Amino acid sequence: MTSVAHILTQRELSRRSFLRGGGSLVIGLGVTGIVARAGRTANDPSAASSAHTGAVPGPPDPTQIDSWLQVNPDNTVTLFQGWTELGQGTPTAVRMIAAEELGLSFEQVTAAQVDTNVSLSAFTVGSNSTATAMGATSLRGAAAGARTLLLDLASARLGVPVEKLSVSNGVVSGGGKSVKYADLAGGKSFNSTIAATNAVLIQPENYKLIGTRVPRFDIPDIVTGKLTYIHNVRVPGMLHGRVVRPRGQAALGQGASVLSIDKRSIAHIPNVQVVKKGNFVGVVAPLEWDAILAADALKVLWSSKPELPGDGNLESALRDPAKLQATNVAADTGDAESALAHAAKTVAASYFTAYQMHGALGPNCSIADVTPNGAVVLCASQGPYVLTRASVSAALGLPPTSVRIQIFQGSGTYGHSTYDDVSISAALMSQAVGKPVRVQFMRWDEHGWDQFGPAQATDVRAGIDAAGNIVGYEYTAFNHGWTQVVESAAELAGTPLPKAPGGQIDTVASGSFYAIPNRRVTSKVVNGYAGFLKGIWLRAPGAPQAVFASEQTIDALAHAAGMDPITFRIQNIDATQKNGVGRWIAVLNAVAAAAAWKPALSAAKLQSGNIVSGRGVAIGGFANSRPAVIADITVNKKAGVIKVDHLYAAQAAGTTVNLASVENQMMGCLVHGTSRALLEEVRFTRTRQTSLDWVTYPVLRFKDSPKVTTVVVQRLDQPPTGSGEPTTAAVPAAIANAFFDATGVRLYRMPMTPGVVRGALAA
């Protein structure tokens, strides 16, 4: 087994570098460009296991225990897990899971920097990272397997049967004797698969860490400026690059074509190199400020085609039959049409949600060192192997195993922002100039070349019988979904685009929560190349759009039935679906209790005057997590301004590993969801996107931030289903339903800006 002396966690690295006095982290890139040095990863030639030396491209075999962890001489354990910190506390939860199974304290488990020559392959998303880590064939299983083997060794060493041994803080005790894990492991590898150990997982009733509140290990370094973000990394001989692109992207597939470049326009800035590959243009300079000035000053004439509809025509473009690619029926139970024809009461409406951006507060950043033989890329990413290594290697024309990705913390991304775009940009510039290049996007690059949460037009029609049971439901969504991952740098450099992008629909948030005998869900798949922007995953992908339409419909049905909105929902919840009735009713009851909800018909007693208040509820998550949200709002009718005073959320997501992180994430979802509900809309003309900064793309500010109350409905007997994003989904609909309660008027367009509000009130 590898010595751990060379394995430093990010925290240790940043602390050491701070102690050196400079506070800077300098990393040596190997002369071959494919081996990182400076103690970033173990590089011990005597290591028994080659998986952690960094010499071999990963991912290591996930069935092997040694791929996941090693026991260190100081009786700690180092993980080689692949989940990255996206600002959601996932690495803290991952350490908790490992510590739980190993019988270690939280502090005894650390993790090596995520690195494609060291770490397991993982995809970090708010909906399933801990769910995967908790799997019996994943981290948890590996930790349980290691414990099993260590207990066998302890049994032999101490002469005490395994069943009479206990573990505490990595010390095995029994028969009045004890031995440390480190002494048992003896610097050796486990040399076993997870499966071969037949390990029994720690059962929930014996959890010591899972389900508690563990502070994130990285927060002290964040608040003291010691944490090394990717933006803080520098390597010897590094140059600074900036991309040169039109301000704001054109329609997907139109890219941007360079007509001419006038290099004389930057002759006054010293030592600048212009990099051009196809229509990818960048500038590289020794000083960062010079690179910024050069990118700004370089005169490039771009062709432009008016292929976009303009934001004012987006909804009609989505509904344009000429842009329709396919019609898919995603769910069809009973006979919705007939049921609606015979329903006691029906409601019908059309809804629209604009494109919304990730808008990372820190523009993405990457350092690449490309040589003819390979490349090292230092960056932030959700998927070091499946996304970043794959897309960078493709753009460079290298095999994936010749590209090494090393992960640092970035700015919160909440989906696929430009993190791979910037890595490809750095790689193309490094390849051109033959030196390591650091690229940090400017604000207009990040805003202007992001990929967006897809816009959606939605029609919903639903009906109830005389007893207030939902009898029929028809849902039709028009969107182009995720237009696959199209990295702008690669697109500009000439990488062929994927074939016609397909639509995707959220069938979960379109009525599936309720027991509806006759339900039809139709996806109108719009051709993403027919004059649209890039669509990709954004926190609770697809769900806020769907829930905005569907949960307003449910609310309208409750009103038509003359029933309290929560009572109506509980009456209609589907009791048969997996994890269904218990969770939904639990979160509705929990959120009602938290908000001291008094059952009443919505909008029953409308207040007079300009300032009115209301309260609304909505349910709707992502994947299998179940959040319910109640919104208390105030409306200034003349100004058209909705003020969200207080949001209450209850979330059931199976096992919640770290209550501290999940309560925090639920709060983040509520605030982020409010921002998306009220303010966020990507604007564009017929030729270009025009939301390029925080003025042209306003987001929620401190003054308008709601008070929040969060309740976790813990179910340690169930697997985790994801906690970092689902609560976002229910926020816009809860606010819209509160608006109806306050005014008796429905809002059909998101974001619910003052213009939308005034228009609805005047209609």
Partner 1 sequence: MHVEAATLTKRDFHCTDEGGVMVTKLKINVNGLRHDVRAGLDTPLLYVLHNELHLHGPRFGCGLAQCGACSVLLDGKEIRSCVTPVAAIAGKRITTLEGLPALYAAQRGATGAAPALHPLQRAWIDLQVPHCGYCQNGMLIQAADLLTTTKNPSEEQIRTAMNGHLCRCGTYPRILTAIQKAASVMAAAS
Provide the binding-site residues for partner 1, judged by CB under 8 A: 22-24, 86-89, 215-216, 218-220, 222-229, 231-232, 234, 270, 287-289, 292, 359-363, 409-412, 414, 440, 442-443, 660-661, 664-665, 667-672, 675, 693-695, 699-703, 705-708
Question: Which helix (H) or strand (E) is 593 found in, with range?
Answer: helix 580-594
Angle subtended at Cα 599 by Cα 596 and Cα 605, rounded to the nearest 5 degrees = 110
Question: Whose structure tokens read 């990272």?
Answer: 129
Which two three-digit tokens encode residue 549? Answer: 């339409």
Query: Which of 194, 650 has the CB closer to partner 1?
Result: 650
Nearest distance in Å: CB 414, partner 1:
7
Nearest distance in Å: CB 634, partner 1:
15
Could you tell me if 210 and 79 are in contact, meaning their C-beta atoms sit under 8 angstroms apart? no
Angle subtended at Cα 673 by Cα 667 and Cα 678, rounded to the nearest 5 degrees = 135
Rounded Cα distance between 345 and 260, Å, is 63
Contacts of 170 (CB under 8 A, 6+ apart): 75, 76, 77, 102, 103, 104, 105, 108, 180, 181, 182
Q: In sequence order, what are the beta bridge partners of 281? A: 276
Query: Which of 560, 644 has the CB closer to partner 1?
Result: 644
Using only the alpha carbons of the chain, give its radius of gyration: 27
Nearest distance in Å: CB 18, partner 1:
9
Nearest distance in Å: CB 84, partner 1:
11
Q: Are strands 374-379 and 365-371 parallel, antiparallel or unpaired?
A: antiparallel
Query: Which of 89, 565 has the CB closer to partner 1?
Result: 89
Query: Which of 253, 673 has the CB closer to partner 1?
Result: 673
Nearest distance in Å: CB 239, partner 1:
12
Nearest distance in Å: CB 222, partner 1:
4
Query: Which of 264, 578 has the CB closer to partner 1?
Result: 264
Rounded Cα distance between 255 and 442, Å, is 19
Nearest distance in Å: CB 731, partner 1:
10
Query: Which of 140, 358 has the CB closer to partner 1?
Result: 358
Nearest distance in Å: CB 411, partner 1:
4
Nearest distance in Å: CB 643, partner 1:
12
CA neighbor of 628 nearest in space, from 668, 583, 661? 583
Query: Which of 383, 463 has the CB closer to partner 1?
Result: 383
Angle subtended at Cα 603 by Cα 732 and Cα 709, rounded to the nearest 5 degrees = 45
Question: Which helix (H) or strand (E) is 731 found in, with range?
Answer: helix 731-743
Contacts of 532 (CB under 8 A, 6+ apart): 251, 252, 308, 317, 455, 480, 483, 526
Query: Which of 51, 230 has the CB closer to partner 1?
Result: 230
Query: Which of 57, 89 has the CB closer to partner 1?
Result: 89
Nearest distance in Å: CB 53, partner 1:
29
For the chain, give the number of residues. 763
Nearest distance in Å: CB 4, partner 1:
26
Which two three-digit tokens encode residue 459? Answer: 């029609």
Which two three-digit tokens encode residue 484? Answer: 């696959």
Rounded Cα distance between 210 and 656, Å, is 8
Tell me which amino acid residue 603 is: A
Query: Which of 421, 663 has the CB closer to partner 1?
Result: 663
Provide the 8-state DSSP code for 702.
Answer: G
> What are the helix (H) ranges across 105-166?
129-133, 139-158
Could you tell me if 745 and 642 are in contact, meaning their C-beta atoms sit under 8 angstroms apart? no
Provide the 8-state DSSP code for 656.
Answer: -
